[in-house]
Amino acid sequence: MTTTRRGQMKLGAFFHPTGHHVAAWLHPDAQIDAGTNFRHYARMTQAAERAKFDLVFLADAAATRAGNMKALRRWPQYMAYFEPTTLLSGLAALTENIGLVATATTSFNEPYNIARRYASLDHISGGRAGWNVVTSSNQAEPFNFSQEKLPFHADRYGRAREFVEVVKGLWDSWDDDAFLRDRDEALYFDPDKLHRLDHKGEYFAVRGPLNVARPPQGHPVLVQAGASETGRDFAAQVAEIVFTAQTDLAGAQAFYADLKGRMAKFGRAPDQLKIMPGLNPIIGRTEEEAREKHAFLQSLIHPDVGRELLSPELGGIDLSGVAVDEPLPESLIPASVDGSQSSFQRVADMARKEKLTVRQMYERYGGARGQRTVIGTPAQIADQMEEWFLREGVDGFLIQPALLPTGLDEFAATVIPELQRRGLFRTEYEGRTLRENLGLVRPGSRYAQP
């Protein structure tokens, strides 16, 4: 393989409670009470740290899943589970190096609360916090916040942009050296190094200052996952990691070049952003064994769950009466949705362009939630990861084990050593903070003197 690319890939571990596969909880090796089992998360996070992962990632939603309860009763994931920053604070006490990243929506939070929460997590962890910035697309969330529907897509991103700027401003409330803590002079802090934000914008009026010291990382690492045009511009402007769904190398290379190419107009260099598509590895001692593992998981998907899995990505249409072994009727596919544009496009393309049956659609989507599944031996999986990295389709991957905890254990025991042998992944952490390990600069305060 001819390439001049140097360096090593970055790896994150995405913890769906029982695993990334929609039917993982039915597997006998799954931790069946995973959503509310702290020791389960502690064990996995410590295993990821021993394997030298850059970070662990927890998704979130501000509502239980709404829809057809006949189907949802067979799909417990994300119905009852920990608030992620609370969970990560507990995990911070049990780890030393691994990054701790969690989702929080800009649609149903306030900037001051989020700035305070993630600054606190950064201090508790010694500089390992990251915030996955999302604009809610879950149609059930507004009802928990005195609203009846989601704002329009453009309004959600407008609010998100201002939200992030306010949070970043609040993180700069205190200069790095503001706290004197001088007993002899009876001086605790220097008032000249405390700054009110006094922000007044279209969506927010926030005086500040924040009642938490400036975070160890300056700002916790900002993560984003939008792939729409609006989402890409937002990521190019503010994100330091982008999680994305890419299923073929050509598409990944195009996304990589496009997103990195947008950064200059925001005064940012390409290496200030790490692009990490999701990767769902199914590992076997032989390729045949790996395929058998995957087939078993696919066989566990109940048709009711399969239909319900596709429904929200298509705008919440009712698929309960649709035959699963026939193509989805064109008449049921909306022209557009106001939810996640990238997820909608992936599912709609399966029906319109590939003419898949409903079962084929939900098996593909349920097995990896729209992400890329790689099935094979450790060497085969490492081969594909290497190719994507060296050919500039990625800066690394967000590993999404189909089954937890065993899928993570297998990846750590077999694929990680193969990547290390090839010089593609670290054998020791480079630093103590998430920024240091990702090779990202620590931002200076907006109030610092040049």
The domain that contains 353 carries what CATH number? 3.20.20.30
Number of structural domains found in the chain: 1
108-150 pLDDT, tens digit each:
999 999 999 999 999 999 999 999 999 988 888 989 899 988 8
Range of the domain at 297: 10-438
Q: How confident is the model at residue 368 (pLDDT cuts 50, 70, 90)?
A: low
Strands (E), 251-399: 274-283, 372-376, 396-399
**pLDDT at residue 173, rounded to an integer:** 98
What does the pLDDT look like over 312-365, one tens digit per residue?
788 878 888 888 888 888 777 777 776 667 677 778 777 777 888 888 888 887
pLDDT at 388 over 80: yes
Specify the pLDDT at position 291. 97
pTM: 0.92
Banded pLDDT at 376 (limits 50, 70, 90): very high
Residue 392's pLDDT band, with cuts at 50, 70 and 90, is very high
Percent of the chain residues past pLDDT 90, beyond the cut: 72
Give the model's pLDDT for residue 160: 93
Q: Residues of the chain with pLDDT > 70: what percent?
A: 97
Within a domain: residue 99?
A: yes
21-30, 299-308, 430-439 — which is least confidently predicted?
299-308
Q: SS3 for 274?
A: strand
Residue 5 lies in a domain: no
| Within a domain: 446 | no
Q: How far is residue 89 from each of residues 124, 125, 222, 274, 429, measured CA to CA in Å?
A: 7, 7, 18, 24, 21
pLDDT at 332: 77
Q: For residue 408, what pLDDT is reported?
A: 98
448 belongs to a structural domain: no
Calculate mean pLDDT across residues 44-70: 93
Q: Evaluate whether residue 443 is within a structural domain.
A: no
pLDDT value, residue 16: 92
Type of residue numbered 138? N
Q: In this predicted structure, what is the pLDDT of residue 339?
A: 61
Q: Which of 450, 91, 55, 96 is nearest to 240 (CA)?
A: 55
In a domain, 3, yes or no: no
Question: Is the pLDDT at 267 greater than 90, yes or no?
Answer: yes
Q: Residue 295 above 90 pLDDT?
A: yes
Mean of the pLDDT values across residues 295-315? 88
> Of 201-210, 366-375, 381-390, where does mean pLDDT reach its minimum?
366-375
- Binned at pLDDT 50, 70 and 90, residue 185 comes out as very high
**154 confidence band (pLDDT: 50, 70, 90):** confident
> Taking the alpha carbons of 285, 289, 291, 293 in that order, is the dihedral positive or negative?
negative
Give the pLDDT confidence score for residue 186 in this predicted structure.
97
CA distances from 268 to 90, 93, 235, 236 (A): 34, 34, 11, 8
Note whether residue 445 is domain-resident.
Answer: no
Position 1 in a domain: no
Phi and psi at 76, nearest 5°, equal -80, -10
Q: Which of 95-109, 148-162, 343-357 has the lowest mean pLDDT?
A: 343-357
Report the run of H or E that residue 261 belongs to, with start and end. Answer: helix 249-262
